[in-house]
């Protein structure tokens, strides 16, 4: 088989980490392809909780090779901190983790530019994670970025860094009246990081290609979600990378024909962190309940996540944009205590029904969701592993989500732990091209 891509279908935090960890048991390789330490992927193994920012969520299996692909922007200090944290928890990564020499490096000045820009935007700020992601991708596209491989060539690295610091200092001073940086200080600091990471920095494109050619099972782990994608998301309230399945090709160095299947992860409701339109957002006691019950606080920044009903328009769009072959529905258990549950099937704008996400942010912000109401099941589903053991109302709800998405559900998550999952079909073991809806009620 080729590769299976796992992508978020909403605004991130869908539970990709949990699903990738579960599937990684049968994978030979897990590859991150975009984003950086803005991601926070939670994996609960036994009594231990891990939050991965840059390290792929397959690292807990010693036999699974983990790769940080060329499309990722790497903050070496954050990566080293993560490796130290893993070591403290008894997880070995030596010989098991590789970083692309072409992945771009996040510099201290990227974070400074982001902070200054967000402050200046005031009420129109994006609400970024403050990890320097946007400015690092700006440098990449402007062809002045510094790549992981450059850190291993000190004279070349010094020259590029001096040029960039001179330009950045002028920008920080002129635009934001902010203090500048000392190139030499950054140079020495990053040389130390390079020494620590040296043995991991390789041409990962070749590594992944070799694995695929040998028939190994490869998982491509998306970060963020489809509606945070720089092209297909709610622009400008998005991240600066291609979080959708298309990004997996450029961010790893493989062709689209190599990707056999794409699994979309969707929460049984919707959340969003940061600014931007969110039609089904609930600013009432139900929203507060979802936040509390779902423990909806950012894994990276600790910020409270905005919560609302499941939005089928978002997920249907994600099916199209990513060519999803199946879905994993997560956090079903969070809905256990509700009397009734709503799903948004379309929007209303000035009396007109919309079945697709309007591209104009002003219209999306002013849309009213059109809801269907479903009876709650008022019983615990936590930890259920067999589909037939679910209350009939929960099965009906899932069947409806599948119907609305026009995409089959392969997995249903009923808790944060690995084993708290209903596996209807393992998408890594049986690849399948898009095959339409399949009733599960």
Tokens (6 digits) for 29:
């390789």
User: Is residue 129 part of the contact set for ligand IMO (CB under 6 A)?
Assistant: yes
Helix, strand, coil content of the chain in percent (nearest 5): 35, 20, 40
Nearest approach, Cβ of residue 272 and ligand IMO (Å):
7
From the list ligand IMO, Mg ion, ligand GDP, none, partner contacted by residue 246 (C-beta under 5 to 8 A by kind): none
Nearest approach, Cβ of residue 79 and ligand IMO (Å):
16
Q: CB nearer to ligand GDP: give 18 or 147.
A: 18
Q: Is 359 exposed, middle or buried (0-12, 13-18, 19+ CB in 10 A)?
A: exposed
User: Is residue 290 part of the contact set for ligand GDP (CB under 6 A)?
Assistant: no
**In this chain, which stretch among 39-47, 316-324, 356-364, 395-403 interacts with ligand IMO, using CB under 6 A?**
39-47
From the list Mg ion, ligand GDP, ligand IMO, none, partner contacted by residue 164 (C-beta under 5 to 8 A by kind): none
Task: Name the catalytic one among 13, 150, 260, 333.
Answer: 13
User: Is residue 233 part of the contact set for ligand IMO (CB under 6 A)?
Assistant: no
Three-state DSSP class for residue 380? coil
Contact status, residue 26 vs residue 217, Cβ threshold 8 Å: yes
Q: What is the 3-state secondary structure of 301-316?
A: CCCECEEECEEHHHHH
Q: CB nearer to Mg ion: give 35 or 40.
A: 40
User: Is residue 126 part of the contact set for ligand IMO (CB under 6 A)?
Assistant: yes
Cβ-based neighbour number of residue 306 at 10 Å: 21
From the list Mg ion, ligand IMO, ligand GDP, none, partner contacted by residue 413 (C-beta under 5 to 8 A by kind): ligand GDP
User: Is residue 129 part of the contact set for ligand GDP (CB under 6 A)?
Assistant: no
Calculate the CA dihedral of residues 230, 234, 239, 242 and round it to 10 degrees.
Answer: -30
From the list ligand IMO, ligand GDP, Mg ion, none, partner contacted by residue 427 (C-beta under 5 to 8 A by kind): none
Cross-strand bridge partners of residue 105? 74
Task: Name the catalytic one among 21, 28, 41, 53.
Answer: 41
* Exposure on the CB side of residue 230, measured as CA atoms within 13 A: 12
Q: Distance between CA atoms of 174 and 168, rounded to whole angstroms?
A: 10
User: Is residue 17 part of the contact set for ligand GDP (CB under 6 A)?
Assistant: yes
Q: What is the 3-state secondary structure of 85-133?
A: HHHHCCCCCCCCEEEECCCEECCHHHHHHHHHHHHHHHHHCCCCCCCCH
295: left (phi over 0), alpha (psi -120 to 50) or beta: left
Concerning whether 227 is annotated as a catalytic residue, the answer is no
User: Is residue 204 part of the contact set for ligand GDP (CB under 6 A)?
Assistant: no
Three-state DSSP class for residue 140? helix
Q: Which of residues 237-296 bind ligand IMO (CB under 6 A)?
A: 239-240, 273-274
The correct pick among 3, 4, 39, 83 for binding ligand IMO (CB under 6 A) is 39
The correct pick among 8, 145, 408, 415 for binding ligand IMO (CB under 6 A) is 8
Q: Distance between CA atoms of 93 and 323, rounded to whole angstroms?
A: 33
User: Is residue 228 part of the contact set for ligand IMO (CB under 6 A)?
Assistant: yes
Nearest approach, Cβ of residue 412 and ligand GDP (Å):
8
User: Is residue 21 part of the contact set for ligand IMO (CB under 6 A)?
Assistant: no
User: Is residue 222 part of the contact set for ligand GDP (CB under 6 A)?
Assistant: no
Q: Which of residues 381-440 bind ligand GDP (CB under 6 A)?
A: 413-416
Tokens (6 digits) for 364:
């999306």
Rg (CA), the chain: 22
Contact status, residue 431 vs residue 394, Cβ threshold 8 Å: no
Q: Distance between CA atoms of 167 and 337, rounded to whole angstroms?
A: 56
Concerning whether 75 is annotated as a catalytic residue, the answer is no
Q: What are the residue numbers of the active site?
A: 13, 41
Contacting residues toward ligand GDP, per CB under 6 A: 8, 12-18, 40-42, 44, 295, 299, 330-331, 333-334, 413-416
Which parts of this chain interact with ligand IMO (CB under 6 A)?
A: 8, 11-13, 38-41, 126-129, 131, 133-134, 223-225, 228, 239-240, 273-274, 299
């Amino acid at each position: 088989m080729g590769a299976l891509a796992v992508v978020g279908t909403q605004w991130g935090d869908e539970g990709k980490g949990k699903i990738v960890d579960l599937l990684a048991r049968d994978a030979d390789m897990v590859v991150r392809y975009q984003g950086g330490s803005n991601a926070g992927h939670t994996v609960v193994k036994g009594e231990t909780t891990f939050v991965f920012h840059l390290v792929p969520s397959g690292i807990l299996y010693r036999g699974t090779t983990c790769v940080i692909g060329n499309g990722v922007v790497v903050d070496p200090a954050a990566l080293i901190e993560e490796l130290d944290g893993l070591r403290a928890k008894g997880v070995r990564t030596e010989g098991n983790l590789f970083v692309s020499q072409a992945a771009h490096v996040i510099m201290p000045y990227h974070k400074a530019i982001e902070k200054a820009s967000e402050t200046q935007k005031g009420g129109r700020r994006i609400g970024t994670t403050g990890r320097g992601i946007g400015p690092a991708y700006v440098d990449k596209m402007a062809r002045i970025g510094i790549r992981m491989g450059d850190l291993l060539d000190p004279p070349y690295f010094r020259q590029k860094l001096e040029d960039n610091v001179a330009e950045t200092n002028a920008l920080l001073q002129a635009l934001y009246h902010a203090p500048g940086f000392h190139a030499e200080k950054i140079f020495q600091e990053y040389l130390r990081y390079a020494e620590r990471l040296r043995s991991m920095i390789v041409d990962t494109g070749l590594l992944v290609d070799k694995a695929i050619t040998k028939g190994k099972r490869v998982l491509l782990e998306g970060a963020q979600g489809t509606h945070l994608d720089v092209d297909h998301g709610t622009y400008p309230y998005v991240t600066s990378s291609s979080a959708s399945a298309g990004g997996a090709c450029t961010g790893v160095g493989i062709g689209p024909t190599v990707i056999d299947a794409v699994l979309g992860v969707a929460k049984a409701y919707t959340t969003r962190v940061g600014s931007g339109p969110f039609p089904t957002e609930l600013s009432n006691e139900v929203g507060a309940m979802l936040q509390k019950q779902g423990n909806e606080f950012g894994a990276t920044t600790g910020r409270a996540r905005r919560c609302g009903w499941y939005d089928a328009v978002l997920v249907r769009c994600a099916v199209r944009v990513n060519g999803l072959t199946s879905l994993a529905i997560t956090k079903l258990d969070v809905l256990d205590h509700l009397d009734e549950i709503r799903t948004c099937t379309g929007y209303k704008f000035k009396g007109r029904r919309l079945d697709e996400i309007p591209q104009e942010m002003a219209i999306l912000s002013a849309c009213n969701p059109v809801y269907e109401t479903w009876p709650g099941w008022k019983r615990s589903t936590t930890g259920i592993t067999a589909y037939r053991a679910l209350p009939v109302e929960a099965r009906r709800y899932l069947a409806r989500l599948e119907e609305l998405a026009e995409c089959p559900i392969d997995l249903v998550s009923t808790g944060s732990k690995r084993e708290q999952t209903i596996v209807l079909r393992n998408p890594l073991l049986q690849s399948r091209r898009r095959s339409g809806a399949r009733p599960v009620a």
